[in-house]
Amino acid sequence: MKIAQEWNMLLVKRYEMLITDSGKDKSAKIVGTALKTLPSHMMNAFQLEKTFSFLMNERFLRKRLSALGVENGTTRQIADIGRLHRIMSENNTMQTLQYSTAEFSVTYCLNFIVDILWKANSESISENQLSEGLYQALTRVGRALQKESSWDDAIDCLFKALEICRAAGFKDNHVDIVHILKLIESSSLKEIILVSIKSPDRLILKNAHTLGQKNNQKVLLELSSHPGYSISPMFDKYALSRYFGSFLQLGFGPKESAVLATYDGNFITRVDDGAVLNVAQGIFREGVNLNLKPGPKTPKEHDKHEKMQSRYFVINSEGSISPSACPLLALGISQYSHLHLVKRNAPHRVIFSNATTLTKCQSELETTNNKIRSDCIELELLSHPGWTILQIHDSFVVGSFSGARIAIGSSNEIMKVNLLQGGRIALNNRKGFLIVLGNNLNEGQNIILLKKWPMWYKFWHLKQQGSFTINNDGSISPTYAPHLVIGSY
């Protein structure tokens, strides 16, 4: 082992000299080999910090793309990022590896590739040429981001690939356009919720027979009811709730992102981290979403875990999954796209058609310091023609809070609101205010209607979470996070 490590260290030194030396007498084949394999030799030498710094080095990446070709170079870069992640996970060094001020994550490294590819595209446009392989490379990165459950980043990346194709004059029926559009659609996750066992929206597992043997075999939660799709995580990390602790929402995603799970006759458990399938809030009714909760680690947690009916499931004969406590319900797909925070320039941001009216009302509020006295403002959608914002579920009550989920869906009624002081957006009937769920403002957080809240939340969080600004393009940002806007999958 030591000899192999020392040999790889020697190769690292030699290859570093080759790719940094500006001399022209070097063999292109040798330099190409160095650019292709240098990160691998660094990892073999266990120089993980150095590997991370090279993978995040623009000059190295550009040289790699030039020597190996844009698509092949990108594929190699993605493979190296994945291997570094596996090594770090196996050696439990995830929290200590940093480059500059950034901590390592696969998503962070993949987004770096997107930035460099998009910069290269801008440069090729200015020089009136199309850089070969760019849209294919972006498509590959988009798929890699899907595997990391970084759906917003995947959509942004894939839209960049689509833009390059359309700029090149590809028609809508071009094979690559069709492929990219399908990937974008598969990134537009819908929540996994409880539906009637007879609903056409219920999910049927592809490998239900294997799970049904109840012997903890590892099975991907792919779907036979929707070929090519699966039960997938909606985010790349757990959310934290004051009342419900850590949880990870589940969505309807591509088969490449399928949850790998086991089933013992009671609990469906994710292999990666021992997280267990759970009915949110323990409420057994149609429309309630499903999530993953961290699995038990102590005897006390095991006792609590076994008493929670929200975590018990049965695999039905036709392949659907039902809560043991309510076999008339099954896992299914929500028909709505929930509202959440996305990047300011995200292609899936929500744009309202009456932006002029909204911004005018906002300006009047600022100048008069009074409530707008107009009857109401309709939130018509420019970005989603034929769809509207609507309240989708019955009101929920959590501790001292009550409210309702909102989403984009098909409806004849358009939501009507009043703009109030402090950037607040209230329903026209005053039965709720739009807020960002939680105590902070981060990408991915849900937008809900809040109807009742405790006094402490009003003083400490409501001003930040419930204040919005209308942008000139018709999007809406949290006032205290202008780099984000309301968006939808």
User: CA dist 63 to 19, 73, 138, Å?
Assistant: 8, 9, 17
Model confidence pLDDT, tens digit, residues 131-149: 678 999 999 999 999 888 8
Q: What local confidence, expressed as pLDDT, does residue 375 receive?
A: 55
- Checking phi first, is residue 92 left (phi over 0); if not, alpha (psi -120 to 50) or beta? left
Between helix 58-68 and helix 48-55 the angle, nearest 10°, is 70
User: CA dist 121 to 70, 115, 134, 183, 204, Å?
Assistant: 11, 10, 7, 21, 42
Assign 253 a pLDDT band (cuts: 50, 70, 90).
confident
Q: Is residue 151 domain-shared with residue 229, that is, in the same domain?
A: no
Q: Which amino acid is at 302?
A: H
For range 47-66, the mean pLDDT: 92
Residue 22 has pLDDT above 60, yes or no: no
Question: Is the model more confident about 240 or about 341?
Answer: 341
Question: What pTM does this model have?
Answer: 0.74
Q: Is residue 217 domain-shared with residue 120, that is, in the same domain?
A: no
Q: Lowest mean pLDDT: which of 305-309, 341-345, 400-404, 482-486? A: 400-404
Q: Lowest mean pLDDT: which of 165-169, 268-272, 453-457? A: 453-457
The answer to whether the beta carbons of residues 401 and 453 sit under 8 Å apart is yes
Q: Is residue 119 domain-shared with residue 234, that is, in the same domain?
A: no
Residue 482 has pLDDT above 80, yes or no: yes
Assign 450 a pLDDT band (cuts: 50, 70, 90).
confident
Q: What local confidence, expressed as pLDDT, does residue 95 receive?
A: 47
Q: Computed from CA positions of residues 181, 185, 188, 189, in that sequence, does the dihedral angle turn out positive or negative?
A: negative
For range 246-271, the mean pLDDT: 91
Assign 40 a pLDDT band (cuts: 50, 70, 90).
very high
Model confidence pLDDT, tens digit, residues 164-185: 998 888 898 899 999 998 888 8
Structure tokens at 131: 């850089």
User: CA dist 58 to 64, 113, 199, Å?
Assistant: 10, 9, 51
For range 88-104, the mean pLDDT: 65
Model confidence pLDDT, tens digit, residues 342-381: 888 888 888 988 777 888 777 777 676 655 455 578 788 8
Structure tokens at 198: 């007879």
Q: Which amino acid is at 266?
A: N
Q: Lowest mean pLDDT: which of 108-117, 258-267, 383-392? A: 383-392
Q: Is residue 165 domain-shared with residue 303, that is, in the same domain?
A: no
Interatomic CA distance for residues 295 and 460, integer angstroms: 32
Phi/psi of residue 253, nearest 5 degrees: -130, -175
Q: Is residue 365 domain-shared with residue 440, that is, in the same domain?
A: yes
Interatomic CA distance for residues 165 and 178, integer angstroms: 11
Assign 402 a pLDDT band (cuts: 50, 70, 90).
confident
Among 151, 161, 168, CA closest to 348: 151
* CATH number of the domain bearing residue 219: 2.80.10
Q: Is residue 207 domain-shared with residue 98, that is, in the same domain?
A: no
**Which residues are paired to 426 by β-bridges?**
418, 433
Q: Is residue 78 domain-shared with residue 160, that is, in the same domain?
A: yes
Residue 265 has pLDDT above 50, yes or no: yes
**Domain boundaries, position 54:** 2-187
Q: Lowest mean pLDDT: which of 32-46, 167-181, 269-283, 455-469? A: 455-469
Domain finish residue from 142, 157, 187: 187
Structure tokens at 392: 């989708």
- What is the DSSP code string of 87-102? HHHHHT-TTT-EETTE
Residue percentage of the chain with pLDDT more than 70 = 89
Model confidence pLDDT, tens digit, residues 183-221: 888 777 788 999 999 999 999 999 999 988 888 899 999
Mean pLDDT of the chain: 85
Torsion of CA 258, 264, 268, 273, to 10 degrees: -80
The answer to whether the beta carbons of residues 357 and 227 sit under 8 Å apart is no
Question: Is the model more confident about 208 or about 336?
Answer: 208
Domain finish residue from 303, 333, 363: 333
Q: Computed from CA positions of residues 240, 83, 143, 98, in that sequence, does the dihedral angle turn out positive or negative?
A: positive
Q: Is residue 311 domain-shared with residue 345, that is, in the same domain?
A: no
Q: Is residue 345 domain-shared with residue 311, that is, in the same domain?
A: no
For range 146-164, the mean pLDDT: 89
Interatomic CA distance for residues 51 and 54, integer angstroms: 5
The answer to whether the beta carbons of residues 289 and 191 sit under 8 Å apart is yes
Q: What local confidence, expressed as pLDDT, does residue 310 receive?
A: 94
Question: Is the model more confident about 358 or about 159?
Answer: 159
Residue 11 DSSP class: H
Nearest 5°: the CA angle 330, 254, 198 is: 20
Among 407, 433, 408, 409, CA closest to 419: 433
Q: What local confidence, expressed as pLDDT, does residue 77 receive?
A: 96
Residue 94 has pLDDT above 50, yes or no: no
Interatomic CA distance for residues 478 and 177, integer angstroms: 34
Q: What local confidence, expressed as pLDDT, does residue 269 receive?
A: 95
**Which residues are paired to 254 by β-bridges?**
229
The residues near 105 (Cβ < 8 Å, ≥ 6 apart) are none
Q: Is residue 272 domain-shared with residue 241, that is, in the same domain?
A: yes
Q: What local confidence, expressed as pLDDT, does residue 325 receive?
A: 94
Number of domains in the chain: 3
Q: What local confidence, expressed as pLDDT, does residue 425 receive?
A: 83
Q: Which amino acid is at 183?
A: L
Q: Lowest mean pLDDT: which of 225-229, 337-341, 403-407? A: 403-407
Q: Is residue 195 domain-shared with residue 299, that is, in the same domain?
A: yes
CB atoms under 10 Å from CB of 431, counted, come to 12
Residue 157 has pLDDT above 70, yes or no: yes
Q: What local confidence, expressed as pLDDT, does residue 369 receive?
A: 61
Compute the radius of gyration of the chain from its Cα atoms.
25
Structure tokens at 277: 């399938």
Question: Is the model more confident about 211 or about 399?
Answer: 211
Residue 130 has pLDDT above 80, yes or no: no
Interatomic CA distance for residues 206 and 392, integer angstroms: 29
Q: Is residue 344 domain-shared with residue 329, that is, in the same domain?
A: no
Residue 331 has pLDDT above 90, yes or no: yes
Assign 429 a pLDDT band (cuts: 50, 70, 90).
low
Question: Is the model more confident about 459 or about 383?
Answer: 383
Domain finish residue from 187, 221, 248: 187
Long-range contacts, stretch 478-484, CB < 8 angstroms, 24+ apart: 478/341, 478/436, 478/441, 479/423, 480/441, 481/341, 481/441, 482/344, 483/343, 483/344, 484/341, 484/342, 484/343, 484/344, 484/441, 484/443
Residue 286 has pLDDT above 80, yes or no: yes
